[in-house]
Amino acid sequence: MDVWQQFIFLVEGVPLTLSISILSFLVGIAIGLPLAFIRVYEKEISFVVDAYEKIWRGIPEIVLMLLLYFGLGPYFPMPFNNAFFVAAFVLGLRSGANQSQIYRGAIRGVGDEQMIAGTSVGLSKWSAIWHIMVPQVFTFSTPGLGSEYALLIKDSAYVYVIGIFEIMSRSIQLKAMPPGDVITPFILAAIIYIAMTFPIAFSLDRWGNRRKKKIGL
């Protein structure tokens, strides 16, 4: 295969890499957002959030993927025999722990006054959180979310260990093919990864800055 063919072969893995990272990013939002608000506004059970963060941030995701896919997969084929599910599950839950910390900082940045103003018009605590805090918290956390998304794209490379045929697996396969070129496939993979992380982090940052200016955060 010439360089161009190798490149195309790797690019064919982009949809899988993107769908794993986007899905786990969304799972991360769904977990991180409520956790952050529980941590700040439900003091009695905030230790649960702490424990969750410590555990997920303390174990390498590659260990979890291997454990779930090869360890639990045979016993609980639904859902752990599905490599795609395991990938999004592990990366998503880990991202939830990271995002929880990002949002927590943002909640403090937005300020308690907004909550007080919300309750003063008769909104319940969680309704004020949803209608007043969440939109501002997202704006406030765009820089952190940008780097978290980049992190997920990069970490999605680990899923080659459970046999998902995305960019990383493909470059390893190219390496194994004759004539045994070990440099080109990985350089190409690096270029593709940076092309995926940079624009997204950059545009998220820009969007956030513009919005922040608009709402005076």
Q: Which spans of this chain sit near another protein (rule: CB under 8 A)?
A: 113-114, 116-124, 127, 131-132, 135-136, 139, 213-217
- Least distance to another protein, CB of residue 217, Å: 6
- Least distance to another protein, CB of residue 120, Å: 4
Q: In one letter, which amino acid is 33?
A: L
Secondary structure (3-state) at 122: coil
Closer residue to another protein, CB minimum distance, 127 or 203: 127
Closer residue to another protein, CB minimum distance, 75 or 214: 214
- Least distance to another protein, CB of residue 125, Å: 8
Closer residue to another protein, CB minimum distance, 163 or 216: 216
Contact 182, 175 (CB under 8 A): yes
Structure tokens at 140: 């406030």
- Least distance to another protein, CB of residue 142, Å: 13
Closer residue to another protein, CB minimum distance, 54 or 108: 108
Picking from 90, 94, 98, the residue whose alpha carbon sits closest to that of residue 65 is: 90
* Rounded Cα–Cα distance for residues 133 and 121 (Å): 15
The backbone torsions φ and ψ at residue 179, rounded to the nearest 5 degrees and listed phi first, read: -90, 15
Contact 147, 201 (CB under 8 A): yes
